[in-house]
Amino acid sequence: MEKLSIWTGLVLCALLAGPAHADPKIDEAKQHVQSGTELYDENNFRGALVEFQRAYDLAPSYKILFNIAQVEMELQDYAGALKAYARYLREGGPDVPADRSAQVTTEIDRLKGRVGHVTVVTAAGAEVLIDDVSVGFAPLPEPVAVNAGPHKVTVHTTGHDPVNRMFDVAGRQDVTAALGDAVPVAPVVVPPPSPPTAAATPHPTGPKSKLPIYVAWSLAGGFAITAGVFALVTHSDESDLASLRNTYPVTANALESQRSKTARAAHLTDAFAAASLVTAGVALYLTLTRSHDPVSETSKAVLLQVGPGGVAVAGRF
C-alpha cells in the first residue's frame, strides 16, 4: 500500500510538470490517478486498474505503468503485471531511478516463473481468442503470455464454426496450440506396382516443362522482396513510434494509431515471408522432381582442359 501511495504522488508531480497552459486531458488524468489510489486503498483492485489504465490513455506517463503493475499483482494476473513492468522499464529508460530499476528487474525475474507462453498455429486471418478474449488475428506477431494454469484457446474463421481446445501451461513453458486448418494432411495415394524392366532407370517424377519451376521461383522471389520492403516499413514505423513516445505532450490516440500502423506492417511482413517460404518449397520440389529428358542426358559431356593458366572443367549440362 505504501509503495503505491508514494508513486501516486510522483505520478501527479509528473503530470503537473507538463506544459504551462491548461490541458483538460492532464486534469482528467490526475483525477483518474487519484480515484485509482482511493479504490486501491479500499481493496477495489479491478476498479483501480480501470482508473489507472484510463489515466495512462489520457496522459501516457511511464510512472503510471508501475501502479498498473502493482494492481495486476493484487489481482494475481502475473502475465499482466509482467507486461506492465517490462513497459515501465522500456518507456522510462534512463529516467527510472537505479534502485527502482533493480527492484522491478528482480520482480520481473520472479514473475517469469509464473508465466508461460502460447504460440497459436492456425489458418492465416483466423481470429484468435484465449480464455474468450481476442488477442488478434493469425499469424500473431509473437507468443501470447498467460498465467500458469489451464487456458482455452479458440480460433474462428469466417464461415466456419469456432474451434477450441484446452491447454495446460506451466510457468516458463512454451506451448504450441495448433487448431483448425493449421496442419492440413494430404491423402496418401499408393500407385500400383509396375513390373520391373532391366533397361528402365528410375528417375524422380515431375513436370517435363520448366515453366512451372520458373513461375514458382519467380513467385518466391517476389514474395521475399515484398517481405523485405514491409520489413523496412516496419522498422521505420517502430522508429516513429519510439520518437513519438519521447515526444511530450502526445495524445493516446496518436500513440495507438502509430502502434496499429506498426503492428499492421509487421503482420504483412510475416505473411509475405511465410508465402515466400511456401512457394520456395514448392519450387524446390518441382526442381528436384522434374522429369529428365533422355536425349539431354546423353548429350551431357564434361571435358578437362589444361592450359597455361591452370586447369578448367567445361561441358554441357
What CATH number is given to the structural domain containing 235? 1.20.58
Amino acid symbol at 258? Q
Q: Is residue 186 part of a domain?
A: no
**Same-domain pairing of 100 and 131:** no
**Same-domain pairing of 168 and 265:** no
Q: Is residue 120 part of a domain?
A: yes
pLDDT in tens, 85-113: 999 999 999 999 999 999 999 999 999 99
**Cα(224)–Cα(277) distance, integer angstroms:** 8
Q: pTM, whole model, 2 decimals?
A: 0.51
CB neighbourhood size of 65 (10 A): 25
**Same-domain pairing of 108 and 126:** no
Would you state the cell numbers that stand for residue 218, as one nine-digit string? 519467380
**Same-domain pairing of 98 and 154:** no
Q: Based on the structure, what is the number of domains in the chain?
A: 3
Which range is most confident: 50-54, 213-217, 232-236?
Answer: 50-54
**Beta-carbon contacts of residue 197 (< 8 Å; ≥ 6 apart):** none
**Same-domain pairing of 103 and 165:** no
Mean pLDDT in residue range 161-176: 93
The residue segments making up the domain with residue 121 are 115-178
Q: Is 200 helix (H, G, I), strand (E, B) or coil?
A: coil
**Same-domain pairing of 16 and 99:** yes
Q: Is residue 317 part of a domain?
A: no
pLDDT exceeds 50 at position 284: yes
**Same-domain pairing of 258 and 280:** yes
Q: What distances in angstroms separate CA 32 from CA 29, 217, 255, one per listed residue? A: 5, 57, 20
pLDDT bracket for residue 65 (50, 70, 90): very high
Q: What is the biggest distance separating any 2 CA atoms in the chain, rounded to whole angstroms?
A: 95
Q: Which of 112, 127, 142 is at the close of a domain?
A: 112
Q: Is residue 291 part of a domain?
A: yes
**Same-domain pairing of 7 and 99:** yes
Burial 157-189 (b: 16+ CB within 10 A, else e): beeeeebeeebebeeeeebebebbebeeeeeee
Q: Is residue 155 part of a domain?
A: yes
**Same-domain pairing of 125 and 104:** no
Instruction: Give the chain's mean pLDDT.
Output: 80
**Same-domain pairing of 293 and 239:** yes
Regarding predicted confidence, which is higher, 135 or 243? 135
Question: Is 45 within 8 Å of 70 (Cβ atoms)?
Answer: no
Question: Is 111 within 8 Å of 92 (Cβ atoms)?
Answer: no
Would you state the cell numbers that stand for residue 27, as one nine-digit string? 486534469
Q: Is residue 265 part of a domain?
A: yes
User: For the domain that residue 105 is a member of, what is the CATH number?
Assistant: 1.25.40.10
Lowest mean pLDDT among 116-130, 158-172, 240-254: 240-254
**Same-domain pairing of 129 and 82:** no
Q: Is residue 316 part of a domain?
A: no
pLDDT score recorded for residue 282: 84
Question: Is 213 within 8 Å of 290 (Cβ atoms)?
Answer: yes
pLDDT in tens, 169-201: 999 999 999 987 654 434 445 566 666 555 555
Q: Is residue 285 part of a domain?
A: yes
Q: Which of 82, 112, 142 is at the close of a domain?
A: 112
**Beta-carbon contacts of residue 240 (< 8 Å; ≥ 6 apart):** 258, 262
The proportion of the chain whose per-residue pLDDT surpasses 90, expressed as a percent, equals 45
